[in-house]
Structure 1
């Protein structure tokens, strides 16, 4: 190829230099593409892990609610004469989480007096809040408020007896620390 074009030594060196730079560019592009693909795979895995954690958290909340119903059902079955018991608990809201914040506030007061003796005071206040996160960029939780119970429905085969119905009613109020208007007890068929 070089013999037909008749390049002198200086031109050959420039051409070889350009070919080397071109080859380095191609290698760099291939390397960057490989690194970028690897980062995308890593990000996809991280996103999948976050979705899995959220699903596990929701399943855990659901499981805790089911556990409370099962616990209440089993304790109410132990009451003499209650018979077969079913319990359903409804919630007013979901669990509330209070995250940690770094906050700073500033307050500035400026007083001005004009030449005619008038005075003016200007107050400026600002507050800056920043969410505190852990190493895995999840927020740090200060406290968690459990979901508030809205109502409890109890269906028991022994509830046709007024004394047992009253006992079940009081047991639910005591166990869950809720008021009477939130509890209903019915007899099973």
Structure 2
């Protein structure tokens, strides 16, 4: 290493005099600069630790909160619409008046999209040690959404929108203290909202 270093830096002048060999001089300066950079980087403290992106986390949390709030508002609106539609119907029942209703929905409306069912079949032949052969058939099923073009983009094909499931109904009204009238009210609610009778509570005022 020392011989190579002396060979590079000692003969900075050519044999023709004391003129400096520019090529070797530039190479020498370049090597010195590289050594300085490497040395400084070795003793530089490693402070480049990844910093958590608090802004991104906060933004995601706010987005989730907004979605949850929108879902809650949508369910509340549907419940209010159901209550407004059902109230006059129940008050039309003979002997029933002054009806108050509270309806609980388990979810919002469910959208059903058209899908293509793709069935695949794969046959594998196996041979045992005794020379016997057998075939193994594997079936696979895969569903793919049917897409239709709307303008410059493709969207899933909506086939129907199902009503949300009712989890419970509570009714207070005048006249339902009679068993017959109460039975009429429970049956009407069960048929209109497609909810089992044991999820309907009807009490007199």
Q: What band does the TM-score fall into relative to the shorter chain?
A: 0.5 to 0.7
Measured after TM superposition, the shift of residue 86 of structure 1 is: 0.8
Point out the more displaced range, 160-169 or 78-87.
160-169
Question: What SS does the corresponding residue of 1:173 show, helix, strand or coil?
Answer: helix
Name 1:29's counterpart in structure 2. none
Instruction: Work out the CA distance in 1 between the residues paired with 2:76 and 2:156.
Output: 22
**Would the aligned equivalents of 1:84 and 1:158 in 2 still touch at CA under 8 Å?**
no
**Would the aligned equivalents of 1:103 and 1:129 in 2 still touch at CA under 8 Å?**
yes
**Would the aligned equivalents of 2:75 and 2:107 in 1 still touch at CA under 8 Å?**
no
Is the counterpart of residue 123 in structure 1 residue 137 in structure 2?
yes
Structure 1 unaligned residues grouped into runs of 5+: 1-54
Q: TM-score, normalised by structure 2?
A: 0.50
Name 2:157's counterpart in structure 1. 140
**Would the aligned equivalents of 1:93 and 1:147 in 2 still touch at CA under 8 Å?**
yes
Question: Structure 1 residues 80 and 120, CA, compared in 2 at 3 Å: closer, same or farther?
Answer: closer
Name 2:121's counterpart in structure 1. 107
Measured after TM superposition, the shift of residue 186 of structure 1 is: 1.2
Task: Please say which structure displays the higher CA radius of gyration.
Answer: 2
Is the counterpart of residue 67 in structure 1 residue 81 in structure 2?
yes
Residue 87 of structure 1: which of 101, 124, 134 is its match?
101
Name 2:167's counterpart in structure 1. 150
Aligned length: 134
Structure 2 unaligned residues grouped into runs of 5+: 1-68
Which string of whole-angstrom CA distances, capped at 9 and with x for unpartnered residues, describes residues 51-88 of structure 1?
xxxx9998776544432221210111223332211111
Question: Structure 1 residues 100 and 79, CA, compared in 2 at 3 Å: closer, same or farther?
Answer: closer
Question: Structure 1 residues 148 and 115, CA, compared in 2 at 3 Å: closer, same or farther?
Answer: closer
Point out the more displaced range, 177-186 or 93-102.
93-102
| Bigger RCO (CA 8 Å, 6+ sep) | 1
Measured after TM superposition, the shift of residue 171 of structure 1 is: 3.0
Question: Structure 1 residues 105 and 152, CA, compared in 2 at 3 Å: closer, same or farther?
Answer: same
CA RMSD in angstroms, aligned pairs only:
3.3
Q: TM-score, normalised by structure 1?
A: 0.54
Say which structure is richer in helix: 1
Question: Structure 1 residues 103 and 168, CA, compared in 2 at 3 Å: closer, same or farther?
Answer: closer
**Would the aligned equivalents of 2:104 and 2:167 in 1 still touch at CA under 8 Å?**
yes
